[in-house]
């Protein structure tokens, strides 16, 4: 959700990953418009039904982050050893902080001004946990300053984890890292069902705990596994399957379609938070399908075609789309504008993309360019 495209061996990158980022961000936007406006008539066909489960876009962001950050850290460690840490930290902070702080301030001033009018102790608490990126640990701070920010905290915790475990990632066999991540996530989610008993515990509590970093390690681990695979660390056969070409692209796309269709069949019309098997197993099945989708993007045979350049641009500004869309939606809702839902959706999409584009060129890109100049 937050990268601009990883640095690959030879200074190249896989730009089609940006198309997935853009699609993920827009899917989340449509989902939140449906959920926050109470648009019961929207999911009336199979295609539209996808958007009613648009939170899957966040899961896709997590797999992409595992791939991008894993590959960037492994490449940096291979070149500079432990010296990779300083540029890694500077890059992550330059990428995350400027827009995160800007949208947070705008949200408090223009959308949720009640935080300024309430007890000063609550304001200090909210600001402190958001600055420390730990606001996703508690219901009382989860999503209070711009709802999507909970996943930014999760991403920052993952970045911190990678900072320390990269030497182990570089030494450990690819399959070991994958199995370790999958097992850790599933064991954590299983343990959470012992404390927050399905069918008894409040759903919001279950959700908050389920997306703590240990609970989504399977998503990150699958992305990291793909990163090690393209580096040749999972065997020459799998590395060959991740080279660009129509045959591997079609194969990975078919695998993704099968796994995601299976995940959809498992999810639709079945209770989730009341079922321990769903809580433990479904996220891993979904992450597997999404990782196959990322593999398809890696192998796409014409990654730099001008035909899909606009779609790649949406991926470049996807972090802004993700952070701006909820303030835009709430601004419309709070003003009680009597708009049809389809008109509201159009306005939210256009306004969000324009804001994201503006802050990409005026805030995010200059911060990254300044970092590059300092490095030079």
Residue-by-residue pLDDT tens, the chain, 376 positions? 444 333 333 334 789 999 999 999 999 999 999 888 877 666 555 556 677 788 999 999 999 999 999 999 999 999 999 999 999 999 999 999 999 999 999 999 999 888 888 899 999 999 999 999 999 999 999 989 999 999 999 999 999 999 999 999 999 999 999 999 999 999 999 999 999 999 999 999 999 999 999 999 999 999 999 999 999 999 999 999 999 999 999 999 999 999 999 999 999 878 999 999 999 999 999 999 999 999 999 999 988 887 788 999 999 999 999 999 999 999 988 887 777 777 888 999 999 999 999 999 999 999 998 887 766 5
- Between CA 313 and CA 260 the distance in angstroms is 26
Q: What is the pLDDT of residue 10?
A: 32
User: Which residue, among 128, 131, 103, has the nearest Cα to 330 in the 3D structure?
Assistant: 103
Concatenate the DSSP letters of all residues of 195-229 into one string.
Answer: HS-TTTS-HHHHHHHHTSGGGGHHHHHHHHHHHHH
Q: pTM score, two decimals?
A: 0.93
User: Which residue, among 151, 157, 148, has the nearest Cα to 356 in the 3D structure?
Assistant: 148
- Between CA 67 and CA 82 the distance in angstroms is 20
Give the residue carrying structure tokens 């190249």.
12
Q: Is 296 in contact with 303 (CB distance < 8 Å)?
A: no
CA dihedral 327, 333, 334, 338 (to 10 degrees): 140
Q: What is the pLDDT of residue 41?
A: 67
Q: What is the pLDDT of residue 4?
A: 37
- Between CA 39 and CA 140 the distance in angstroms is 27
Q: Read off the tokens for 146.
A: 């711009």
Contacts 24+ apart (CB under 8 A), 302-307: 303/14, 303/15, 303/16, 303/244, 304/15
**CA diameter of the chain:** 61
CB contact set of 131 (below 8 Å; sequence gap of 6+): none
Q: What is the pLDDT of residue 147?
A: 93
Element spanning 184, H or E:
helix 174-195
- Cα 276 from chain centre: 24
Q: Is 57 in contact with 64 (CB distance < 8 Å)?
A: no
Q: What is the pLDDT of residue 14?
A: 86
Q: What is the pLDDT of residue 307?
A: 77
Give the residue carrying structure tokens 């060959």.
240
Q: What is the pLDDT of residue 45?
A: 58
Q: Where are the alpha helices (DSSP H) in 300-364?
A: 309-316, 318-334, 341-359
- Between CA 150 and CA 25 the distance in angstroms is 15
Q: What is the pLDDT of residue 5?
A: 37
Helix (H, G, I), strand (E, B) or coil at 1: coil
Compute the C-alpha angle 359/363/368, nearest 5°. Answer: 125
Q: Is 355 in contact with 106 (CB distance < 8 Å)?
A: no
């Amino acid at each position: 959700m937050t990268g601009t495209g990883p640095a690959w061996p030879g200074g190249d990158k896989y730009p089609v990953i940006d198309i997935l980022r853009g699609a993920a961000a827009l899917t989340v936007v449509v989902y939140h418009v449906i959920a926050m406006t109470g648009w019961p008539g929207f999911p009336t066909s199979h295609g539209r039904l996808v958007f009613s489960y648009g939170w899957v876009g966040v899961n896709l962001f997590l797999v992409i982050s595992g791939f991008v950050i894993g590959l960037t850290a492994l490449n940096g460690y291979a070149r500079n050893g432990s010296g990779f840490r300083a540029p890694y930290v500077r890059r992550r902070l330059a990428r995350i902080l400027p827009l995160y702080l800007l949208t947070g301030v705008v949200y408090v001033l223009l959308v949720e001004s009640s935080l300024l009018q309430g007890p000063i102790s609550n304001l200090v608490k909210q600001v402190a946990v958001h600055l420390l990126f730990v606001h996703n640990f508690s219901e009382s701070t989860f999503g209070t300053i711009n709802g999507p920010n909970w996943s930014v905290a999760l991403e920052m915790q993952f970045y911190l984890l990678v900072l320390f475990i990269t030497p182990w990632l570089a030494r450990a066999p690819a399959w070991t890292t994958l199995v370790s991540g999958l097992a850790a996530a599933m064991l954590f989610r299983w343990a959470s069902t012992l404390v927050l008993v399905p069918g008894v515990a409040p759903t919001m509590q279950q959700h908050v705990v389920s997306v703590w970093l240990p609970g989504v390690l399977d998503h990150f681990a699958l992305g990291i596994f793909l990163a090690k695979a393209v580096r040749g660390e999972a065997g020459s056969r799998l590395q060959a399957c991740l080279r660009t070409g129509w045959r591997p692209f079609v194969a990975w796309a078919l695998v993704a379609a099968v796994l995601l269709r299976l995940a959809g069949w498992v999810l639709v019309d079945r209770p989730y938070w009341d079922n321990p098997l769903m809580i433990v197993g479904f996220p891993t099945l979904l992450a597997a399908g999404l990782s196959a989708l990322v593999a398809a993007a890696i192998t796409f045979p014409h990654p730099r075609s001008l035909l899909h350049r606009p779609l790649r641009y949406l991926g470049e500004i996807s972090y802004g789309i993700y952070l701006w869309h909820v303030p835009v939606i709430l601004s419309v809702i709070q003003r009680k504008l009597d708009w049809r839902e389809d008109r509201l959706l159009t306005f939210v999409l256009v306004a969000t993309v324009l804001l994201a584009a503006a802050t990409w060129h005026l805030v995010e890109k200059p911060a990254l360019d300044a970092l590059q100049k300092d490095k030079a």
